[in-house]
């Protein structure tokens, strides 16, 4: 009986260590660059939005009315952020998604401009993407990831 208990305990410990290793593998690798490096790699508008937390003007251009199949990536570091099946038309003037690919964005409390909201940044390079709101499609997540067109690029499937 003691041998059986010992074997069960060893199996449980082994499983737990294995699960921890898998979690570590899924962590996003951080990309570190100086602001002068970012400035030299990004356009003026991209740098303003991604690194200075600016906002694109609302429009139906860019990726706002874009609905091809593929993935949307961070325009600074090329990390995958959103799948095209999470994109929806919100009529707000910015590309909108109801979910991000798990582990690709970081959520930060934002109290600027007299509001309390949640900023979303790329988990890999800490670049500003936009904000998340609770007015998305209720039949899915109820979330609206309001993303600056300058923050993302698209890769067709």
Would you name the residues annotated as active-site residues?
146
Please give the Cα distance from 78 to 67 (Å, whole number).
19
Partners of 109 in beta bridges: 118
For residues 60 and 105, give the distance between their C-alpha atoms in angstroms, rounded to a whole number.
24
Q: Which residue has the tokens 């499937």?
A: 157
Burial (Cβ within 10 Å: 0-12, 13-18, ≥19) of residue 29: exposed
Q: What residue has token string 């208990």? A: 5
Cα(128)–Cα(50) distance, integer angstroms: 5
Q: In DSSP terms, which residues pair with 107 in a beta bridge?
A: 120
Q: Are strands 128-133 and 144-147 parallel, antiparallel or unpaired?
A: antiparallel
């Amino acid at each position: 009986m003691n041998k059986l208990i010992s074997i069960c305990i060893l199996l449980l410990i082994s499983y737990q260590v294995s699960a921890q290793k898998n979690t570590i593998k899924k962590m996003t690798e951080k990309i570190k660059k100086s602001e002068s490096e970012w400035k030299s790699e990004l356009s003026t508008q991209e740098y303003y939005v991604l690194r200075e937390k600016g906002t694109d003007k609302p429009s139906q251009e860019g990726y706002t009315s874009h609905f091809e199949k593929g993935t949307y990536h961070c325009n600074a570091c090329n990390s995958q952020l959103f799948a095209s099946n999470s994109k929806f038309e919100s009529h707000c003037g910015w590309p909108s998604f109801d979910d991000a690919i798990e582990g690709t964005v970081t959520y930060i409390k934002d109290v600027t401009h007299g509001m309390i909201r949640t900023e979303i940044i790329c988990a890999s390079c800490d670049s500003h993407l936009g904000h998340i709101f609770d007015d998305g499609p209720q039949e899915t997540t109820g979330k609206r990831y309001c993303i600056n067109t300058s923050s993302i690029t698209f890769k067709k499937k």
